[in-house]
Amino acid sequence: MNETVASTRAARAASQTAFAVLGAISFSHLLNDMMQSLLPALYPMLKAHYDLSFGQIGAVTFTYQITASILQPLVGRYTDGRPRPYSLSAGMGFTLCGLALLAYARTYPLLLAAAALIGTGSSVFHPESSRVARMASGGRHGLAQSVFQVGGNLGSSVGPLLAAFIVLPYGQSSVIWFSFAALVGMFVLFQVGHWYRMHGLQRLKPREADASAAAPPPRRHVTLAISLLLALIFSKYFYLASLTSYYTLYLISRFHVSIQSAQIHLFVFLGSVAAGTLIGGPIGDRIGRKYVIWGSIVGVLPFTLLLPHANLFWTGILTVPIGMILASAFPAIIVYAQELLPGRTGTVAGLFFGFAFGMGGIGAAVLGHIADTSGIDLVYELCAWLPVIGLLAGFLPEVDRPPREAAH
């Protein structure tokens, strides 16, 4: 009896510890993406101050996101075989250095260098933090990914507000104030790294053993599914690049709103992205990832087609369902791929986060060139059709575990 009571208490304590760690990693994601979102939020000010073209703005985003894109899969693959619990705190250190350089950069090449450092911080943070979220999930992997990712989305949505009410009034050098957030993040992630080293690896081993014991999907199914998922990521993040990089500039150009008003509109859109991320994972746990992926990518098409023809009021309204529906896909995509390739959590997270960053960077550069040569309105007219690629989700093989099994 005593042994039963003790084991029950230990199980409860482990569950509480897991949720505490999940909360800590989500909070750190909030800080990480809040700091990173300062860069695109500063684009109107940087464009005016340095007389940058849309193409040069796109190149800044390209530098940041391509840095993260190239490094993330490599980091994920490396840490699958050699876990590095304290690399999370080190990754936040790169972001800190990027912020300091961004605050005092006075030339365009230094802006690019700052973007590269911030991208390097992301490349280290995302694969390992996604692994920690899975360790702390208690089997509810979709929920864990949503909680982890919603922290990043909330941080991204807060960034433009901070830029509007702190950085814009006080100037570029005020970015250095956010270094305190980086220091807090480094401290929290050091504690997470300690839990990872002491408890996380032991939690992961039996689950990896169970995963390896299950019959893996046929290789052709894996290849097909990964290819389709990457095509969906292309559709999603190419479209999101049009809003995260150019939405404020589009509003200013087309509707002649103030910079602060444009930043508030961006905050509303990014807040809807956060809400969609939180919803997508738990729904995928209940009804299956494939259906969430299918509905989220294709379901956004009517709204994207209407957006280029809307007035200011309806533009603000339409970006809410666009953000929510598009964002609901990503947690489901990550968990779907992790179930497709069991035991390769870091590799999967690095591949998909990295590819997402890369598509965002390439999208920003390409769309910036289109905006320079043909006008920014054409960007949204072309991007409106990207969700059609979501029809490919119908060819994804079934790999989900039954909902009851996945919940344990």
Span 198-239, pLDDT tens digits: 765 555 554 444 444 455 567 777 888 888 888 888 888 888
What single letter denotes the amino acid at residue 85? P
The two tokens of residue 350 are 């690095």
Round to whole Å and give the CA distance between 80 and 176.
34
What is the percent of the chain with per-residue pLDDT over 90, rounded to a whole number? 19
Buried b (16+ CB within 10 A) or exposed e, 21-60: bbebbbbbbbbbbbbbbbbbbbbbebbeeeebebbbbbbb
C-alpha dist (Å) from residue 299 to 78, 282, 292, 296, 302: 37, 18, 10, 5, 7
Band of pLDDT at residue 381, cut at 50, 70 and 90: very high
Band of pLDDT at residue 302, cut at 50, 70 and 90: very high
Mean pLDDT to the nearest integer, 271-290 = 80
pLDDT at 317 exceeding the cut of 60: yes
Of 304, 17, 317, the residue nearest 137 (C-alpha): 17
More confident residue, 310 or 82: 310
Lowest model confidence (mean pLDDT) among 43-47, 119-123, 321-325:
43-47
More confident residue, 330 or 180: 180
Of 193, 206, 199, 194, the residue nearest 139 (C-alpha): 206
Round to whole Å and give the CA distance between 125 and 68.
10
**Domain ranges across the chain:** 24-406
For residues 192 and 69, the answer to whether their CB atoms sit within 8 Å is no
Backbone region of residue 298 per phi and psi (left: phi > 0; alpha: psi in -120 to 50; beta: other values): alpha
* Cβ neighbours of 131 (radius 10 Å): 26
SS3 138: coil
How many C-alpha atoms does 393 have within 13 Å on its Cβ side? 26
pLDDT at 101: 92
Q: DSSP assignment, residue 196?
A: I
pTM exceeds 0.85, yes or no: no
pLDDT at 40 exceeding the cut of 80: no
Mind listing the pLDDT tens digit for each residue in 334-359? 888 888 887 777 778 778 877 877 78
CATH number of 24-406: 1.20.1250.20
pLDDT at 203: 52
Mind listing the pLDDT tens digit for each residue in 95-133? 999 999 998 888 899 999 999 999 888 888 888 888 888
The two tokens of residue 79 are 């840490």
Question: Which of 71-80, 104-113, 164-173, 391-400 tops mean pLDDT?
Answer: 104-113
pLDDT at 184: 94
Band of pLDDT at residue 408, cut at 50, 70 and 90: very low
Q: Which stretches within 256-344 are classed as H helix?
A: 259-287, 289-298, 301-306, 312-327, 329-340
pLDDT at 94: 92
pLDDT at 314: 95
C-alpha dist (Å) from residue 320 to 89, 100, 189, 248, 270: 34, 33, 32, 15, 8
Of 319, 273, 300, 318, the residue nearest 386 (C-alpha): 300
More confident residue, 218 or 145: 145
Round to whole Å and give the CA distance between 399 and 141.
14
